[in-house]
Amino acid sequence: MIQLDLQGRRALVTGASGGLGRAIAETLAAAGAQVAVHYRKGKDEADAVVDSISKAGGKAQPFQADISDPAAVEKLVQQIEQAFGGLDILVNNAGMDGPRALVGDDDPQIWEKVLSVDLLGPYYCARAAIPRMEKLHRGVIINVTSVHEFIPWEGYSAYTSAKAGLSMFTKTLAQETADKGIRVVALAPGAIQTPINESVWSDPQSLKDLDKKISMGRLGKPQEIGNVVAFLASDLASYITGTTLAVDGGMLIYPDFRHGG
C-alpha cells in the first residue's frame, strides 16, 4: 500500500490563516507534519486554524511575522526552530495581487509592495530555511506561484512579474540546493474558490465567464491544492525538483481552442 506520510516533519506555511494557506496547513497536519501556521495579521483566524488542526489530532502553533522584512523572517524561523526543533518543509504561500491598475496609472509604491511580499518574501524565507535543512541533508521548499506565471493579466503587472520571477527563483534555487538534499518546486494554482475571490464566484455571470476559461469547467477547491502540496512535500515526490506543477483544471491548455483556432 502506498502511503503519504509526513510523520516527524516540521512545516512552515506562510499566509496560513485562511484560504489556500489554511487548506495547505490542515492537509500537511493530517499527513502527520507539525505545522507552523504563519500570519501577518489576523491572529484570531490563525488561532482558528491551529484549533481545527488540534481537534483533528494534529499538531500546530501560530507564528506572526511580516515576511517582507528579512529580520522578521529570520526571527520567525528561529522561533519555529526553538519550538519544533527544526524545519523540513517550507511552503511559501503568502501573497497579494494589489489593486488593478495599468502601468502609468498605478502607484510605484504598491508595485514594490507586491514584489516585496510575493517575491522577496519567499526569498527571505528560503534563505532562512536552507541552513536548517542543510544540516539534515533533507528539505522541501514549495513556492506557490499562479497560472499567471504563464498567463499575462492586464492591470496586475506587479503580480504577474512577481509570480514569473518566483518561478525562475524556484528553478535556480533547485539547482543550487540539489546536492544538499533539498528539493524546490513551484505549484501554480488556477482559479480556486476562496474567500478572496468570492465576488467572482458568487456572481452567476462572472462565474460562467470564468468557467469558460477552465477546461474542466469549474473552480478548484482549496483542498485540491492542499492535497498536491502534501504530495510534493512527501517522499512520494522524491525525484521532483526545479519545476512548476500547474493545478488549474486545464486553464493553461486554452479551452477556447477546443473548437478550432
User: Domains plus CATH for the chain?
Assistant: 10-196+220-250 (3.40.50.720)
Residue-by-residue DSSP string for 202-219: TSHHHHHHHHTTSTTSS-
Contact between residue 239 and residue 178 where contact means Cβ atoms under 8 Å apart: no
Average pLDDT for 43-67: 98
206-245 pLDDT, tens digit each:
888 888 899 999 999 999 999 999 999 999 999 999 999 9
Q: Is 96 helix (H, G, I), strand (E, B) or coil?
A: coil
Facing residues of 35 across strands? 11, 60
Contact between residue 232 and residue 187 where contact means Cβ atoms under 8 Å apart: yes
pTM, to two decimals: 0.96
Catalytic residue list? 159
Instruction: Say what angle helices 108-115 and 157-177 make with each other, to 10 degrees.
Output: 30
Mean pLDDT of the chain: 95
56-92 pLDDT, tens digit each:
999 999 999 999 999 999 999 999 999 999 999 999 9
- Percent of the chain past pLDDT 90, that is, above it, reads 88
Q: What residue spans of the chain are helical by DSSP H?
A: 19-30, 43-55, 70-84, 108-115, 121-136, 157-177, 198-201, 204-211, 222-233
State residue 118's pLDDT score: 98
The CA distance from 141 to 185, in Å, is 6
Average pLDDT for 153-175: 98
**CA of residue 158 relative to chain centroid, distance:** 17
Please report the sign of the dihedral spanned by the C-alpha atoms of residue 197, residue 116, residue 173, residue 230. negative
Which triple of cell numbers denotes residue 25? 496547513
Going by pLDDT thresholds of 50, 70 and 90, the confidence category of residue 261 is low
The CA distance from 146 to 153, in Å, is 11
173-207 pLDDT, tens digit each:
999 999 999 999 999 999 999 877 777 777 888 88
